Homo-oligomer: A and B are copies of this chain.
Amino acid sequence: MTGLVPPGAPDRDRAAVRRAAAAWSGLVEPGDRTAGTLLLAVGPVAALAWLRAACEPGTRARAVARLRDRLEDAPDELSARRLLAAVDRWGPRLGRIDTDRDALALQRLGGRVLVRGDDAWPTGLDDLGPEAPACLWVRGDPAALAGPPAVALVGARAATSYGTAVAADLACGLADRGHPVVSGGAYGIDAAAHRGALAGDGPTVAVMAGGVDRLYPAGNTDLLERVLVRGGAVVAEVPVGATPTRSRFLRRNRLIAALASATVVVEAAWRSGSLSTASLAAGLLRPVGAVPGPVTSMASTGCHRLLREQDAVCVTSVADVLELLPGGAPSGPGGHGAGTDPQDGLGEAARMVVDGLDARRTSTLDELVPTVGLSAADVLAALGELELAGLVARAAGGWALTVTGRRPAAR
């Protein structure tokens, strides 16, 4: 484990890979591009051995030079300057991490560490490239991560009752159709999304900013424990015991975006972390939806901003969300309160003749022609169409509207 495996060579020992990846998840802050590039280039085992060697007194510069010699066409992220700085950043944590201790703690919680190549590894994370996590610390059912296309439902902690109701409705409908709901486990919209998915008897995934041993925030512990026992998962890219810092919350959002095939913001203030999730999803070329709300509600200003400035899709129903997913079909007017109108399907001339007929009496053709403003031939043709549609009936001396024909129509 101390030698440097040449780039591209497969790591032989899967357990060693898992251990090394878990160690890397504690050595670096989430989204460290130099670390991600190094892991993609040489794998976590060789990278860890290299870092240990580079941290021996007086060997740093030589270790960097040796690594760059072995890498053909080293990318900019692995320049000598960046690697030297990285050793200064990662090295001080080498003495702090204890992968055995963390693995044991996770095992006691019934969890496991997933790495690239595992069946349950969510391949969507690979789209993050050098910002992909080294591994995923998972509690609950890993199957929730590799199922049908998932939807991220995110939004404000300071949500309104409108927002939480909409989030729960959407999540319930999505879960009911088998789509996992991904969110951040926070108060407000996140909690409503997880709750809605549970109500819809579908899996839901909560992505933590800190370690999965600590269900955060504390007020949502019961909810997140229900997620765990009901086929869902609680995941993190940092080891058990890690604290949820502000920057980890922001970086965590890229995992939410990458774990889902589409991201929908339900309520968000003008500046809100969920807007960053939406931007990250858009950066991954995943569809972004926003739920509109009253313009008088501060809790919807961020959603309206996404609609105005970011080309987010206006989402008002489960059908609208499904349309965002791969292969989603246009939702059409169903469920939107589309009504039928007795004048549906009528031609323009027929509509004009309906308008020209007096609801209280019979009209002659000679009266109708100048009233309607069409030729006698067109008026007769329209009357025939209306008779077939049951809106007009022949009467003594002319034509009259039927009961159906007298029903008012939308303007």
* Interface residue ranges, A against B (CB under 8 Å): 27-29, 32, 85, 88-90, 92-93, 95-96, 157, 162, 165-166, 186, 245-250, 269-273, 291-296, 298, 300-301, 303-305, 307-308, 313-317, 320, 333, 336-339, 341, 348, 351-352, 354-356, 369-370, 372-378, 409-411
**How many angstroms from the CA of A166 to the CA of B292 in the assembled complex?**
15
**How many angstroms from the CA of A235 to the CA of B410 in the assembled complex?**
22
* Inter-subunit contact A292/B271 (CB<8 Å): no
Task: Please name all residues of chain B whose beta carbon is closer than 8 Å to the beta carbon of A95 when the two chains form the complex.
Answer: 370
Q: A88-B377, A314-B292, A370-B92 are in contact. Are A271 and B308 (CB under 8 A)?
A: no
* Inter-subunit contact B314/A245 (CB<8 Å): no
**How many angstroms from the CA of A95 to the CA of B92 in the assembled complex?**
99
Task: Please name all residues of chain B whose beta carbon is closer than 8 Å to the beta carbon of A247 when the two chains form the complex.
Answer: 348, 351-352, 355
Q: A307-B314, A308-B313 are in contact. Are A162 and B294 (CB under 8 A)?
A: yes
**How many angstroms from the CA of A411 to the CA of B293 in the assembled complex?**
22
Task: Please name all residues of chain B whose beta carbon is closer than 8 Å to the beta carbon of A351 when the two chains form the complex.
Answer: 246-247
**How many angstroms from the CA of A314 to the CA of B320 in the assembled complex?**
17
* Inter-subunit contact B271/A28 (CB<8 Å): no
Which listed residue (B270, B377, B410) contacts A272, Cβ 8 A?
B410
Most buried by B among A32, A186, A247, A293: A247
> A124 to chain B: closest CB distance in Å?
23
**How many angstroms from the CA of A224 to the CA of B339 in the assembled complex?**
32
Residue of B nearest to A355 (CB): B245
Residue of B nearest to A349 (CB): B247
* Inter-subunit contact B338/A271 (CB<8 Å): yes
A-B contact pairs, 5 of them (CB 8 A): A90-B373, A186-B411, A245-B352, A245-B355, A245-B356
